[in-house]
Chains A and B, each alone.
Chain A
Amino acid sequence: MSGIPTITGTALPSNAPGHQTGWLAQLDPRARILCAVGFAVTVVTCDSFGTLVAAVAIALALLVASRLPPRQTLRRMVAMDSFILFMLILLPFTVPGEPILTIWGISASWEGLAQATRIALKANAVILALMALVGTMEPVVLGHALHSLRVPAGLVHLLMFTVRYIEVLRQEYMRLRLAMKARGFRPSTCWHTYRSVGYLLGMMLVRSVERSERIMDAMKCRGFTGHIPLMKRFCLSQNDIVFAALFSLLIVTLLVGEALHAAV
Chain B
Amino acid sequence: MHVVDGALSNPVVIGGAVLTLGGLALGLRRLPMEKIPVAGVLSATFFVASLVHVPIGPSSVHLIMNGLAGLVLGWAAFPALFVGLLLQAVFFGFGGVTVLGVNTFNIAMPAVIVGVILRRLVLSGTPATGAIWGAIGGAMAIALTTIFVALSLALTGEEFFAPAKLVFFAHIPVMVIEALLTGAAVYLARQVKPELFDVFEGARS
Q: Determine direct contact between A and B, CB below 8 Å.
A: yes
Secondary structure at chain B's binding surface: helix, strand, loop or mixed? helix
Q: How far is the CA of A130 from the CA of B99 in the complex (A)?
A: 13
**B40 / chain A contacts, CB cutoff of 8 Å:** 157-158, 160-162, 164-165, 212
| Interface residues as binary, B78-100 with A (CB distance below 8 Å gives 1, 0 otherwise) | 01101110110111111111100
**Interface flags, A187-219, vs B, CB<8A=1, else 0:** 111010111111101111110111110011001
Do residues B153 and A87 form an inter-chain contact, with CB atoms below 8 A?
yes
A170 at the interface (CB under 8 A from B): yes
Kindly list chain B residues whose C-beta atoms are within 8 Å of the C-beta of A159: 83, 86-87
Say which residue of B6, B45, B48 sits within 8 Å of A44 (CB atoms): B6
Known pairs A191-B180, A194-B177, A198-B182; A118 contacts B192 (CB<8 A): no
Q: Are B55 and A189 in contact (CB under 8 A)?
A: yes
With A155-B79, A189-B57 as known contacts, state yes or no: A161 contacts B34, CB within 8 Å: no
Q: How many residue pairs bridge A and B at CB < 8 Å? A: 280
Q: Assess A208 versus B98: contact at CB under 8 Å? Given A94-B159, A194-B181.
A: no
Across the interface, which residues of B come within 8 angstroms of A122, CB to CB?
Answer: 4-6
| B93 & A165 in contact (Cβ 8 Å cutoff) | no
Residues of chain A contacted by B82 (CB below 8 angstroms): 155
In the complex, A203→B95 CA distance in Å?
29
Q: How many residues of chain B have a CB within 8 Å of chain A?
A: 84
**Nearest opposing residue in chain A for B40, CB measure:** A161
Tell whether, in the assembled complex, residue A158 and residue B42 are in contact, meaning their CB atoms are under 8 Å apart: no
Known contacts A189-B55, A212-B37; A84 and B7 CB within 8 A of each other: yes
Contacting pair A94 B55 (CB below 8 A): no
B1-45 Cβ-contact flags toward A at 8 Å (1 or 0): 111111100100100000000001000100111101111111111
Q: Quick check: is B204 within 8 A (CB to CB) of the other chain?
A: no
For B45, give its contact among A87, A142, A169, A194 (CB under 8 Å). A169
Residues of B near A27 (CB, < 8 A) are none
Whether the Cβ atoms of B185 and A83 lie closer than 8 Å is no
B52 A3 Cβ-Cβ under 8 A: yes
- Within the complex, which residue of B34, B47, B83, B94 is in contact with A226, where a contact is CB–CB below 8 Å? B34
Q: Encode B91-131 as 1/0 by CB contact (under 8 A) with A.
A: 11111111000000000000000000000000000000000
CB distance from B78 to the nearest CB of A (A): 10
Residues of B within 8 A of A135 (CB): 90-91, 93
Tell me if B28 and A154 are in contact (CB < 8 A): yes
Instruction: Classify chain A's interface size.
Output: 35 or more
CB distance from A119 to the nearest CB of B (A): 5
- Expressed in whole angstroms, the Cα–Cα distance for A108 and B86 within the complex equals 35
Q: For residue B63, which residues in chain A have a CB less than 8 angstroms away from its CB?
A: 201
B84 to chain A, nearest CB (A): 7
- B203 in contact (CB, < 8 A): no
Q: Are B6 and A126 in contact (CB under 8 A)?
A: yes
B55 contacts across to A, CB distance below 8 A: 1, 187-189, 193
Contact A12 to B87, CB < 8 A, known contacts A43-B5, A122-B6, A204-B48: yes
How many angstroms between the C-alpha atoms of A13 and B91 in the bound complex? 7
| Bound Cα distance from A80 to B1, whole angstroms | 10
**Cross-chain contact A158 with B6 (CB below 8 angstroms):** no
B111 → chain A closest CB, angstroms:
14
24 contacts between A and B (CB under 8 A): A44-B13, A44-B98, A87-B7, A91-B160, A95-B159, A123-B4, A123-B96, A127-B93, A137-B90, A161-B37, A164-B40, A169-B44, A193-B55, A194-B177, A198-B182, A201-B65, A202-B186, A202-B189, A205-B72, A208-B41, A210-B193, A212-B40, A212-B42, A228-B36
Partner-B contacts on A (CB < 8 A): 1, 3, 6-7, 10, 12-13, 36-37, 40-41, 43-45, 73, 76-77, 79-81, 83-84, 86-87, 90-91, 94-96, 112, 115, 118-119, 121-123, 126-128, 130-131, 134-135, 137, 139, 142, 152, 154-155, 157-166, 168-170, 173, 187-189, 191, 193-199, 201-206, 208-212, 215-216, 219, 226-228
